[in-house]
Amino acid sequence: MDTTLQDPLVGQVLDGRYRVEARIAVGGMATVYRAVDTRLDRVLALKVMHQALAADGAFVERFIREAKSVARLAHPNVVQVFDQGTDGSYVYLAMEYIAGCTLRDVVRERGALQPRAALDILEPVLAALGAAHRAGFVHRDMKPENVLIGDDGRVKVADFGLVRSVDTVTSTTGSVLGTAAYLAPEQIERGAADPRVDVYACGVMLFEMLTGGKPHFGDSPAQILYKHVHEDVPPPSAEVPGMAYALDELVASATARIPEIRPYDAVALLAQVREARAGLTDAQLDAVPPQATAADHDNAEDRTSVIPRSLTVPRPLPVNEDEDRHTSRLASPAPLPPRRRSLPRRGVVSIVAAVLLVLGLGAGVWYINSGQFTKVPLVLEKTEEQARDRLSDAGLEVGEVKRAYSDTVKRGLVIGTDPAPGARIRDNDSVTLTVSRGPEVVRVPALRGEPLDEARRALKREGLEPGMVTREFSDEVPKGAVLRTDPEGGVERHAGSAIALVVSKGSPVDVPDVVGDDLEDARAQLLEAGLKVKVASAQIHSEYDKGQVALQSPDSGGQAAEGDTVTLTLSKGPVMVEVPDVVGDSVDDAHDKLEGAGFEVDEDRGILGLFGDTVKSQSVEGGDTAPKGSTITIEIR
């Protein structure tokens, strides 16, 4: 049964512009529809936030941030965002429509992919994420559902709904936002998110493409999250014997549980992928993996969701030097299953060894100095006083206290530390705190009368973004200068808000009627009215003589701005058509012949022809030519 028929939005027109035609997909935060932009007559995807979330200001802000963030990413592998708006209780994004499927559809249908196909998909994904990372953004919710594969083979990354700036705190009180199967350990433990969380998720996706299944399973989100923190992602060759060791190394590098060991962003991972591919033979790239019977797939586990912190916040344990110092156990309402497998991770071990060697830290040196180090405690979203107390209890000092604006953390609460939470630091060292000033509010500058370019620069200096530009006539403000802004000058807005600009077109000028005039006469009239003249290169046949004006654009009777251009199309003269001979014909037959040839017909009956029905003569003799559309008079007797 077509469930879209039950959707109340299908068949509706949002915001007076977007006609919703069908439901494409339903996610954890929004529903995606295929729609038509009735203004531009193009098919697009309409992402509409669930109404329950639309009432939450924080979610709406995050939703709108997606539009602004993605709009800055001009990359062929990023789904383009066209528009954002609201209609009553509906909050929506209008996006590029990609006819095709998702990577989830491919893996569900085909299972494990050949290495060449997996890398062909992964590379454009990393290129898109690399552009985002270098622009200062983190996706935070990479998964196969957000990788679109077009019918033409194009690969695009979608759903930047959780995108955040690299330097923005991403932890949330009481919850973590994301998809459990692809969360990095540091997201689970601390809510931290830098480009390396996207790298981790891409490593999990690569494992899934190469093996047909996820690396960690569990009966609950808590069990899956526990495994991400405490268990390495196994090498793909454990599931697909004979797979190239270089692919195991790629997965190991991208999914290292210690974030410092991973590639620092998608650009770095892309370089590793290309290097690994170059070292593989055609036989290794085209190896056909064994296909097992696909298990039932639960869509719910792959949806972006709000995961309670009770499932992710570590509880304190006694220090054990044999246990990974970068992880801690997760509270779980149910007993946790044993590890699925314990497999050697040659890639991670070699990378760790290299890092230790570079730092000059042998295992013995670490053991001797371990008692002189501690970890920076988690103080995010604590008051400055609470943060000082926690740092003091950990044997650390508070160094510099910085202040910064935040749209998500209340004024007076900590939004960052240097070193970061969980970082290893010497006892008695100092930690720099960054405390929220609250949302940054900017006053819209008064821009009336300012040239458009200067107005745009002034908005950027104030931390605002120039928005849509429209134009209106004005007798008071010079052409090209700002007439007003929306919102108007003096109103306060959050930093980064877009300000619409209305620019003057100058005083209106009545466009004179010059159709039928000679070119020079027409030019003189238009120049006298303050308008410029352009003569179209092509000419047309018309009722006017050759060289006279046949068309003008804009038409007469309208208004234009002083200095606007009026385009004139000149006549090639009328089309000359041979006149049919209708003498002796009945009146009706004469009409049919003459009108069929493109002429108008006028009857001259006189007194003697009032009751006659035969053509006695015609104003242009049959066989001669006359302008098409001209009038032929027939005399009736």
Residue 39 per-residue DSSP state: T
Q: 140 with 198: CB under 8 angstroms?
A: yes
- CA pair distance 136, 117, nearest whole angstrom: 29
- CA pair distance 402, 575, nearest whole angstrom: 81
Residue 585 per-residue DSSP state: S
Q: 186 with 422: CB under 8 angstroms?
A: yes
CA-nearest of 267, 242, 266, 237 to 252 is 237
One DSSP character per residue, 77-107 reads TBPPEEEEEEETTEEEEEE----EEEHHHHH
Between the CA atoms of 216, 217, 221 and 222, what dihedral angle is there, to the nearest 10 degrees?
A: -70
Q: Which residues pair with 626 in a beta bridge?
A: 577
CA-nearest of 635, 630, 637, 621 to 595 is 630
Contacts of 137 (CB under 8 A, 6+ apart): 69, 73, 160, 163, 164, 165, 166
Q: 524 with 566: CB under 8 angstroms?
A: no
Q: Which residues pair with 502 in a beta bridge?
A: 470, 484
Tokens 């552009």 correspond to what residue? 131
- Which residue numbers are catalytic? 141
Q: Tokens in use for 225?
A: 């999250």
Tokens 């209340």 correspond to what residue? 410
What phi, psi does 545 have (nearest 5°)?
-65, 160
Rounded to 10°, the helix 245-254/195-211 angle is 150
**Count of Cβ atoms closer than 10 Å to residue 122 Cβ:** 25
Long-range CB contacts (< 8 A, 24+ apart) of 293-298? 294/108, 294/109, 294/111, 294/212, 295/213, 297/108
Q: 347 with 248: CB under 8 angstroms?
A: yes
Which H or E run contains 270?
helix 266-278
**Count of Cβ atoms closer than 10 Å to residue 588 Cβ:** 9
Q: Tokens in use for 462?
A: 């104030």
- CA pair distance 206, 195, nearest whole angstrom: 17
- CA pair distance 568, 552, nearest whole angstrom: 5
β-strands 492-494, 532-535 pairing? unpaired
Q: Which residues pair with 226 in a beta bridge?
A: none
Between the CA atoms of 478, 481, 486 and 490, what dihedral angle is there, to the nearest 10 degrees?
A: -100
Between the CA atoms of 149, 155, 161 and 163, what dihedral angle is there, to the nearest 10 degrees?
A: 160
